[in-house]
């Protein structure tokens, strides 16, 4: 027995203990109604909380917040609740009190506003509702939508969609237009008090029409009246956007049975629609709700281990336009620290990194459009010196320092905004340099002597100059800087983090971010750190804006 009957009797009467472990009892609520409650103890109780159901829900006709149609009382959030489970009996009693309090708050109408917070939860409980995949932009204008079908899926999208390929990426089969349906989208006023319907009592035609009339602007209302007065033989679908609060809205829909009458005189069946949202705004809101990245056009140069992983991090921020540049084919040598895998080497054929990564990125990010250049970046610039003017930001992730220095010189002539990202040997750390060429401080500054302006090893380096930490496997052509997948992943994340700070104006000056990885192996192998890294781990990660070098031939006094 999990709970003492005497303690239960403080809340319930007519208590019964069932053979399956459930407990049933009667609760007399403040309105005088008798609520028959079932307590269900899950298999992993007390790691999981008990569940409480109203057994006579249909008889009582209760419609209150936090009470589902199967009688389940939602008395606590499902997201990572921490509770003391050392005393199962006490836990069950506390949970019962919370469940009863949840019922009473709803019965006494003290939380009516919670209906709106749970709008979709109630809407989705309506029986016989039709699921529709919704790709249209939920903007604030009335518009007609295109309707498609793919197998058993009904799909709607804007007539002139900004992302025409997105639907195909979610539904890769045959997608056919559904010309027998006319679908229209109506945005309602921000200030409204629309409550969800009782799932057992769907809205009538009158309620639907009045909902639009009472919560639309005058111009939208006039359009709506004309539209519902027009006769058509098509099935009609009406989508309504209902703002609940700032940056939070729901989209619901109704399908009106095919009829030769106008919608105003419609007498046929009305079926609620379960809107499954695939629009970009909604998907971003399911993360941190950031929209500042969707209109940016970016370019990434170099698709090695760092650059390839950076494409994924930037795409996950909501970037929708990306160009990737790399002349090389993907080979198995780099597989264990690259974002591409064995499936990118089909039948032994080595394909260009840009094409394989484009396929991977667009498959995972249906709103992302990726353009590719399988050319050396210097060749691209030779053909078109202003090639990078079209991008808001460019990311340089190439291991060749001389090419990066040349890019730095070219970018300085075009007032570009560039991120340079590179890592140190053996995964001891890495750097991200942000340069807005309208300001002082550039990539060349790091390779310039502060006194005489001569070329020197990178002044930001964590490794003492003059040490050979390159590795090759039986051939000088296979030489590479040793570091593992964790290092390249961290480099990509740190680059995306600095980009995020720049976009939100938390960093406005040209800056270099230096971060530390694992330094133990480096020390064990007897290598030496640079003067910049004194061994004090507390100073990293660090972001410094004072790296400009007046002797720099690109942005210094004599440039």
- DSSP 8-state code for residue 67: B
Q: Kindly report, residue by residue over 479-500, the tens digit of the pLDDT.
A: 556 678 899 999 999 999 999 9
Strands 349-350 vs 369-373: parallel, antiparallel or unpaired: unpaired
> Which pLDDT score, from 0 to 100, does residue 396 have?
98
For residue 477 the two structure tokens come to 């052509």
Query: Three-state SS string across 492-553, please?
Result: HHHHHHHHHHHHCCCCCCCEEEEEECCCHHHHHCCCCECCCCCCCHHHCCEEECCCCCCCCC
How wide is the angle at C-alpha 397 spanned by C-alphas 353 and 426, nearest 5°? 100
CA pair distance 342, 407, nearest whole angstrom: 32
**Between 524 and 475, residue with greater pLDDT:** 524
Q: Does residue 473 carry a pLDDT above 50?
A: no
- pLDDT tier for residue 284 given thresholds of 50, 70 and 90: confident
300 torsion bin: left (phi>0), alpha (psi -120 to 50), beta (else): beta
Last residue of a domain, one of 69, 88, 112: 112
Question: Do 303 and 279 share a domain, yes or no?
Answer: no
User: 322 with 470, same domain?
Assistant: yes
Identify the domain boundary among 283, 306, 330. 283
The reply to whether 464 falls in a domain is yes
Sheet holding 23-28, edge to edge: 13-17, 23-28, 34-40, 51-54
Same domain for 65 and 189, yes or no, is no
| Residue 243 belongs to some domain of the structure | yes
- Residue 538 lies inside a defined structural domain of this protein: yes
Per residue in 328-359, pLDDT (tens digit) is 998 877 777 787 877 777 656 778 999 999 99
455 domain residue, yes or no = yes
> For residue 125, is it within any domain?
yes
CATH of residue 44's domain is: 3.10.110.10
Model confidence at 254: pLDDT above 90: yes
Confidence of residue 474 (pLDDT cuts 50, 70, 90): very low
Identify whether residues 330 and 380 lie together within a single domain.
Answer: yes
Q: pLDDT tens digits for 103-115?
A: 999 999 999 999 9
Cis peptide before 137 (omega within 30 of 0): no
Specify whether the backbone of 80 is left (phi greater than 0), alpha (psi in -120 to 50) or beta: left
Q: Which of 283, 317, 345 is the last residue of a domain?
A: 283
Query: Is the bond into 541 cis (omega within 30 degrees of 0)?
Result: yes
**502 domain-assigned:** yes
**Sheet containing 511-516, strands listed edge to edge, beginning at the edge strand earlier in sequence:** 369-373, 321-325, 297-301, 393-396, 417-423, 429-436, 511-516, 542-544
Residues 261 and 404 in one domain: no
- 69 and 199 in contact (C-beta within 8 Å)? yes
In a domain, 51, yes or no: yes
What pTM did the predictor assign? 0.85
Query: If you ran DSSP here, which 8-state letter would residue 294 be given?
Result: T
- Beta strand residue intervals within 73-205, DSSP E: 130-134, 143-150, 153-158, 176-177, 181-187
361 lies in a domain? Answer: yes
Per the structure, the complete domain to which residue 188 belongs is given by 120-283
From 11-25, 115-129, 343-357, 436-450, the region with the lowest mean pLDDT: 343-357
Q: Range with the lowest mean pLDDT among 73-82, 239-248, 312-321, 547-556?
A: 73-82
What's the average model confidence in pLDDT over 108-133? 93
Model confidence pLDDT, tens digit, residues 166-196? 999 999 888 999 999 999 999 999 999 999 9
In this structure, the answer to whether residues 311 and 459 fall within a common structural domain is yes
Indicate if 236 and 259 belong to the same structural domain. yes
Question: Which token pair is 460?
Answer: 């930001």
Give one DSSP letter per residue of 3-23, joined into a string. S-HHHHTTT-EEEEE-TTS-E
The rounded mean pLDDT for the chain is 91
Q: How many domains does the chain have?
A: 3
Kindly report the length of the chain: 559
pLDDT at 536: 72
Residue 253 in this model has a pLDDT that exceeds 90: yes
* pLDDT range class, residue 386, cuts 50, 70, 90: very high
What is d(CA 281, CA 101) in angstroms, rounded to the nearest whole number?
36
On whether both 433 and 386 belong to a single domain, the answer is yes
Q: How far apart are CA 320 and CA 366, in angstroms?
A: 9
Same domain, 102 and 145: no
Between the alpha carbon of residue 104 and those of residues 31, 66, 67, 97, 121, the distances in Å are: 9, 11, 11, 10, 20
Lowest average pLDDT, out of 198-212, 268-282, 531-545, goes to: 531-545
One domain for residues 130 and 208: yes
Same domain? 271 vs 350: no
- Mean pLDDT of the 410-434 span: 94
Mean pLDDT on 84-100: 91
Whether 452 and 524 share a structural domain:
yes
């Amino acid at each position: 027995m999990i709970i003492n009957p005497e303690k239960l009797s403080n809340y319930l009467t007519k208590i019964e203990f069932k053979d399956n472990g459930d407990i049933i009892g009667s609760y007399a609520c403040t309105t005088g109604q008798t609520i028959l409650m079932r307590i269900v103890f899950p298999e992993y109780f007390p790691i999981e909380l008990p569940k409480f159901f109203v057994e006579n829900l249909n008889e009582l006709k209760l419609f209150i917040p936090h009470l589902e149609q199967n009688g389940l009382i939602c008395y606590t959030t499902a997201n990572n609740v921490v509770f003391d489970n050392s005393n199962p009996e006490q836990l069950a009693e506390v949970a019962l009190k919370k469940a009863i309090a949840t019922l009473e708050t709803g019965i006494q109408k003290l939380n009516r506003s919670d209906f709106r917070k749970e709008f979709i939860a109630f809407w989705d409980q309506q029986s016989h509702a039709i699921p529709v995949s919704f790709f249209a932009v939920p903007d604030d204008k009335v518009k007609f939508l295109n309707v498609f079908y793919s197998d058993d899926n009904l799909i709607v999208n804007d007539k002139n969609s900004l992302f025409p390929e997105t639907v195909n990426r979610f539904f890769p089969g045959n997608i056919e237009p559904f010309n027998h349906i006319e679908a229209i989208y109506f945005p309602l006023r921000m200030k409204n008090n629309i409550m969800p319907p009782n799932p057992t009592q769907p809205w009538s035609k009158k309620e639907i029409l009045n909902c639009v009339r009472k919560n639309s602007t005058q111009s939208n209302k006039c359009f709506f009246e004309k539209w519902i007065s027009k006769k058509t033989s098509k099935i009609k679908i009406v989508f309504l956007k209902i703002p609940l609060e700032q940056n939070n809205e729901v989209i619901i829909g109704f399908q009106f049975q095919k009829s030769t009458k106008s919608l105003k005189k419609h007498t046929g069946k009305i079926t609620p629609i379960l809107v499954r949202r695939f629009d970009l705004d909604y998907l971003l809101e399911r993360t941190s709700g950031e929209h500042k990245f969707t209109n940016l056009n970016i370019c990434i140069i170099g698709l090695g281990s760092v650059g390839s992983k950076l494409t994924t991090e930037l795409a996950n921020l909501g970037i929708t336009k990306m160009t990737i540049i790399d002349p090389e084919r993907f080979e198995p040598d780099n597989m264990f620290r690259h974002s591409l895998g064995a499936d990118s080497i089909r039948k032994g054929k080595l394909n260009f990194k840009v094409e394989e990564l484009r396929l991977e990125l667009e498959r995972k990010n249906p709103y992302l459009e990726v353009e590719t250049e399988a050319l050396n970046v210097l060749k691209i610039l030779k053909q078109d010196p202003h090639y990078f003017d079209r991008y808001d930001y460019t990311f340089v992730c190439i291991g060749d320092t001389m090419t990066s220095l040349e890019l730095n010189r070219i970018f300085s002539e075009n007032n570009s905004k560039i991120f340079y990202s590179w890592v140190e040997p053996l995964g001891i750390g890495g750097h991200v340099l942000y340069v807005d060429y309208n300001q002082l401080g550039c990539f060349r500054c790091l390779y310039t002597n502060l006194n005489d302006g001569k070329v020197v090893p990178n002044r930001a380096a964590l490794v003492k100059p003059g040490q050979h930490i390159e590795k090759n496997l039986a051939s000088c052509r296979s030489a590479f800087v040793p570091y593992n997948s964790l290092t390249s992943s961290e480099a990509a994340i740190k680059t995306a983090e600095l980009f995020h700070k720049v976009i939100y104006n938390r960093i406005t000056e040209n800056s270099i971010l230096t971060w530390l990885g694992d330094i133990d192996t480096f020390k064990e192998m007897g290598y030496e750190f640079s003067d910049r890294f004194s061994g004090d781990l507390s100073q990293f990660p660090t972001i410094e804006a004072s790296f400009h070098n007046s002797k720099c031939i690109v942005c210094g006094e004599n440039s």
